[in-house]
Every structure is written in structure tokens, then in C-alpha cells.
């Protein structure tokens, strides 16, 4: 598949993250399982993460995706805050 088109799973996860993190300045979801939707790598940059420890940021993402995670084997999460 081309790099410009997302899989259905990537689009669904991205949509959920956009709804849960409306202040996110960047969201990137990549299916790293070869397109079968079993494993995702997520990069999300959001103001909502400011003043929170990394583990808390990851818990926020896990909580936002709790329904989607049920059908996944794994998830790699990278969170950050926008530079001031």
C-alpha cells in the first residue's frame, strides 16, 4: 500500500484519538503489523499532556483507546507536548 493512504484500522484509531484529544497538534498512527491491525505505533503531541509524567500520558492514551485495544496484540505509544 502507499504511504499516503491509511488502513481502516489506522483511520479508526486516529479518529478516536482526535475525539479524545481535541487539543492535539499532531497525531500519527501506523499499523506496524503489516496491515492486519494487530499492532500499532502511535505518536501524539498534545497540550493535554503538559505537567503529566510519561506513564500518565500513556495511561490517557490507553484509556482513550480501551475499546480498540481489545482487538490488538500490541501498542507502542510515544507522547509529547508542543514546544513552548
Domains along the chain with CATH numbers: 8-80 (3.30.300.90)
62, containing H or E segment: helix 54-64
pTM recorded for the entire structure = 0.88
**Banded pLDDT at 1 (limits 50, 70, 90):** very low
Are β-strands 39-46 and 74-80 bridged in parallel, bridged antiparallel, or unpaired?
Answer: parallel
3-state secondary structure of 21: coil
What are the pLDDT digits (tens) for 5-56?
Answer: 788 999 999 999 999 999 999 999 999 998 788 999 999 999 999 999 999 9
| HEC secondary structure over 28-58 | EEEECCCCCCCEEEEEEEEHHHCCCCHHHHH
Question: φ and ψ at 25, to 5 degrees?
Answer: -95, -15
pLDDT of residue 61 exceeding 80, the answer is yes
Amino acid at each position: 500500500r502507499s504511504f499516503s493512504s491509511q488502513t481502516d484500522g489506522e483511520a479508526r484509531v486516529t479518529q478516536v484519538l482526535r475525539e479524545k484529544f481535541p487539543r492535539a497538534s499532531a497525531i500519527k498512527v501506523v499499523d506496524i503489523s503489516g496491515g492486519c491491525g494487530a499492532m500499532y505505533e502511535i505518536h501524539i503531541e498534545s497540550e493535554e499532556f503538559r505537567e503529566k509524567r510519561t506513564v500518565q500520558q500513556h495511561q490517557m492514551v490507553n484509556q482513550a483507546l480501551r475499546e480498540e485495544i481489545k482487538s490488538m496484540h500490541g501498542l507502542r505509544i510515544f507522547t509529547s507536548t508542543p514546544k513552548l
